[in-house]
Amino acid sequence: MKIGIVQNAPYLGDVQKNLQSHLEASEKASSEKIDLLVFPELSLTGYTLRDLTQDIAIQPKNNPVFKKLLLESERLDLVFGFVEEKERGLFYNSAAYLRKGKIRHIHRKVYLPTYGMFEEGKFYAAGRNFDVFPGDVFQTGLMICYDFLQFGPGYLLFAGGAELIICLSAAPGRGFSPEEKFASSDMWELMGAALSRFTTSYVVYCNRVGFEDGKAFAGGSFVYGPSGNLICTAGYGEEGFITAEIHPDTIREARSQRLYKRDDRPEIIQAALQRLLQKNED
């Protein structure tokens, strides 16, 4: 399976321009025989929306933007970010996986950063699930940005049978590193390496670039293999398009050598969490 990652700078609040860039990237990806194309967090809208949130929100069913992307997904699978109006007046920072002209899955961001420069909790409702769903080749799970930096979501997708974990991100770059990258990029790469190794899954991380409201977004998108090995990475702070070949046999080999999946005990985790929650209630 061949994956493409689009590391771009969405136009803030301009869904039609962003739709056009999605369609152009899809055309390029299709010509390169790519099977799955991944865009960053809120790729259809831009990130720092604030009061624009309700104006550019999308209800996927029968939406003309979604209709065009669903048609495009007849050629290749698409993963992208958008503001979803799930119910009237209720907005989510969401990611959609489209395949064969259908919405295969929608993930709603669970962990909404609301501190410092981040204000997501003011405008979005929090999602409640981390689900695994079948793709063409791999059992797949989605995350959005801050979800990736929590302990729980990675385990839930692992326990649910994920073989491919995709994270859409709009992570700013902060600090400087001797390696000519943002110091904050180390955090995402360390998580990518650890998550891929201990879930024995492929981990795809697609981060945006560009500037909004004084924020510089870092880029540095990557793909890690199921042994914690870096397969490919994009540049920092600049637009890019990278590809990776991923294979189910590699997961089989990794899981036969590192037996985390065989030895997983989700019932132990469940019982311990129930005791912890009961204790906190008391």
Q: Domains of the chain (ranges plus CATH)?
A: 2-277 (3.60.110.10)
- If you average pLDDT over residues 25-54, what whole number do you get? 97
> What confidence tier does 26 reach under pLDDT thresholds 50, 70, 90?
very high
DSSP 153-167: HHHHHHHTT-SEEEE
- Tally Cβ neighbours within 10 Å of residue 254: 22
Please tell me whether the overall predicted TM-score, pTM, comes out greater than 0.85 for this model. Answer: yes
Q: Residue 246 above 80 pLDDT?
A: yes
- pLDDT given for residue 175 in this prediction: 82
In the chain, beta strands by DSSP E: 2-7, 36-38, 77-87, 90-99, 102-108, 132-134, 139-144, 164-169, 202-207, 209-212, 215-218, 222-224, 230-233, 240-245
- Residue 181 pLDDT class (50, 70, 90 cuts): confident
